[in-house]
Amino acid sequence: MTVHFVDTHAHICSESFRDDFEEMIRRTEEAHVDRIMIITLSNEETKRAVEFAQRDPYKYTVAAGIFPEDVKDLTDAYYEEFMQTASMKEVSVIGEIGLDYYWEKDPGVRALQRELFVRQIELARKLNKPIAVHSRDAMQDTFDIMKEHHWKGLMHCFAGSKEMAAEFTKLGYYIALGGPVTFKNARHSAEVVTSIDEKYLLTETDCPYMAPVPKRGKRNEPAYIPYIAAKMAELRGVSIEYIADVILRNWDRFLEQCA
Ligand SMILES: [Zn+2]
């Protein structure tokens, strides 16, 4: 029996894969990572991803968003164009959007990030598309916004506690985990994997970043998803076949929420 895998967060339309794109995709086929959500952070990237989704809508899902740090350079003209791109029927998810206080220390800019986050959640609601949320060193503010402006979506690269994960799943949000679950010091991630209701669990690479052990430190790619799924299976005391099947069904259910 072949085991099939899902990568719910892959920046494969970024510069990092320019030189070996075809080989990288071939490796996803060999590894049976046959569902990939392409996260795009510019209108150019989105247009490229849309072409893949048109050719193979089962394999590729497209997410488009404005990353929190990009709020500093955001113009009205760009936002206008982003709203057009986000409305395309091939764009299924709005993301990644959210808050990043790790890179941003200025309280004024952090406030702008919160404003942009809310604005994109409201756009997602208008378009009836779920959100993919980035949150770094900003868990409480992220949660408060996602509770007040409650919508459907997922938490990407979840780095909070198991208690926090439970609060998010109570609101119906999915929890995606990647490379860090394979890291030795990743106590939080391991606890989240073992404690949450399996129906909210998703796998992701966040490639080109966050490569899992044994590829840690290298460029990450979707073909490494099996390492992450294997670790999740081990932590939960189930087979990799079982966990991969649960995640595949979760992904189908998540996508059913898309317009
Ligand atoms: Zn990302």
Encoding tokens for residue 37? 């959500």
Distance from the alpha carbon of residue 9 to the mean position of ligand 1, in angstroms: 6
The pLDDT assigned to 65 comes to 98
State the alpha helices, DSSP H only, in 35-181.
43-55, 76-87, 107-127, 139-148, 162-170
* C-alpha to C-alpha distance for 189 and 177, rounded to whole angstroms: 8
Distance from the alpha carbon of residue 122 to the mean position of ligand 1, in angstroms: 20
Distance from the alpha carbon of residue 1 to the mean position of ligand 1, in angstroms: 32
The pLDDT assigned to 1 comes to 75
8 A C-beta contact, residue 95 and residue 131 = yes
Per-residue pLDDT in tens (0 to 9) along the chain, 259 residues:
789 999 999 999 999 999 999 999 999 999 999 999 999 999 999 999 999 999 999 999 999 999 999 999 999 999 999 999 999 999 999 999 999 999 899 999 999 999 999 999 999 999 999 999 999 999 999 999 999 999 999 999 999 999 999 999 999 999 999 999 999 888 889 999 999 999 999 999 999 999 999 999 999 999 999 999 999 999 999 999 999 999 999 999 999 998 7
The pLDDT assigned to 185 comes to 84
The pLDDT assigned to 186 comes to 81
221: region left, alpha or beta (phi > 0 left; psi from -120 to 50 alpha): beta
Distance from the alpha carbon of residue 100 to the mean position of ligand 1, in angstroms: 12
First to last CA, the chain: 33
Q: Give all strands (DSSP E) within the chain, no chain letters.
A: 5-10, 33-40, 60-64, 91-100, 131-136, 153-155, 174-177, 201-203
| Domains delineated in the chain | 5-256 (3.20.20.140)
Distance from the alpha carbon of residue 80 to the mean position of ligand 1, in angstroms: 22
Distance from the alpha carbon of residue 207 to the mean position of ligand 1, in angstroms: 7
8 A C-beta contact, residue 208 and residue 187 = no
Q: Counting every residue, how long is the chain? A: 259
Distance from the alpha carbon of residue 16 to the mean position of ligand 1, in angstroms: 13
Using a 10 angstrom Cβ sphere, with 0-12 exposed, 13-18 middle and 19 or more buried, the burial of residue 235 is: middle
The pLDDT assigned to 248 comes to 98
Distance from the alpha carbon of residue 10 to the mean position of ligand 1, in angstroms: 7
Of the candidates 33, 169, 16, 151, which has an alpha carbon nearest to the alpha carbon of residue 97? 151
The pLDDT assigned to 110 comes to 98
Encoding tokens for residue 83? 């709203």
Distance from the alpha carbon of residue 163 to the mean position of ligand 1, in angstroms: 24
Distance from the alpha carbon of residue 180 to the mean position of ligand 1, in angstroms: 14
